[in-house]
Amino acid sequence: MLKDEIERRTTEGRAFMRFMRAEPLQSDEPYQTDQEQKLPQPPLVKARMRPEEAPIALPQDFTGLAQGLDLTQIIRRRKSSRVYTQQGMTLQQLSYLLWATQGVRGVRGKSYATLRTVPSGGARHPFETYLLVQQVDGLVPGAYHYLPMEHQLEFLGPVEDLRANITASLAQQSWAAKADVVFYWSCVPYRAEWRYGIMAHRIVMVDAGHMGQNLYMACAGLGLGTCGIGAFDDDLCGELFGLDDADEFIVYTAPVGTISDKNAAEEAAFYTFVEEDGL
């Protein structure tokens, strides 16, 4: 039956986001996506997880933040940084990074889609942003969820053994535990599946790249360091933010911290194996 096949393929499609597998539909029955069937669309953003708590307003004025670099200089400076100096970030800097990666700049139609600072196939924007905060002015260390419509954060609670959890959640990449904040982006697949059906998963992963690149560029503009992280512990990441793992799971992560040119040798040490292995 087409229904069964679509269900199986949707599950495989979600697996495709992790394992890059795809195959053509075998059924001859006509297939329509949920949007084509005029089924109701899912919410554009996740509802507040702690509606009983007052959310934290984020600064919206970014004047004076960037270091006066033009786009060409920012593109030139974009790189991965894994050595952080632990000086702490300001709330204005964090606000800028959240805006640059997922900020909402408008709504298409009555509530058809959000338009954001990054592109997304069909403007589905299937991501949610979670943070583990260690050192950001004005924020208690712990777990946070970004509310893009309001440009606010909600505090999800303190996290025991925060540093150890950062390391473990990023597949034991212990250098990341010196980050001031770690971004964990989840995907809510149905936001994209509603429109794209079994095609959705590839598009979602392309979308994730735009978000990651904007984080890199925004960090370069502010003189902060980041590194996209694809090696993470799916289960632990999900547990940290209470995600159900079927309808929402983490797909991409990135630590952010302060950096210094003085650490160039330590940065380079991550790649000594290239010479050692004669690559």
Binding site for ligand FMN (CB under 6 A): 79-80, 82, 173, 212, 227-231
**Considering the complex, what minimum distance in angstroms separates the CB of residue 49 from ligand FMN?**
26
Residue 38 DSSP class: T
**Considering the complex, what minimum distance in angstroms separates the CB of residue 55 from ligand FMN?**
30
**Considering the complex, what minimum distance in angstroms separates the CB of residue 40 from ligand FMN?**
33
Report the residue number, 82 or 124, with the smaller CB distance to ligand FMN.
Answer: 82
HSE toward the beta carbon, residue 248, CA cutoff 13 A: 20
Report the residue number, 18 or 79, with the smaller CB distance to ligand FMN.
Answer: 79
**22-to-34, 41, 121 alpha-carbon distances in Å:** 20, 25, 18
Task: Decide: residue 166, CB within 10 A, 0-12 exposed, 13-18 middle, 19+ buried.
Answer: buried
Report the residue number, 219 or 227, with the smaller CB distance to ligand FMN.
Answer: 227
Where b means 16+ CB within 10 Å and e means fewer, 232-267 reads: bbeeebbebbebeeeebbbbbbbbbbbbeeebeeeb
**Considering the complex, what minimum distance in angstroms separates the CB of residue 157 from ligand FMN?**
26
Q: Tell me the longest C-alpha to C-alpha distance in the chain.
A: 63
Report the residue number, 196 or 216, with the smaller CB distance to ligand FMN.
Answer: 216
Report the residue number, 95 or 165, with the smaller CB distance to ligand FMN.
Answer: 165
**Considering the complex, what minimum distance in angstroms separates the CB of residue 173 from ligand FMN?**
6
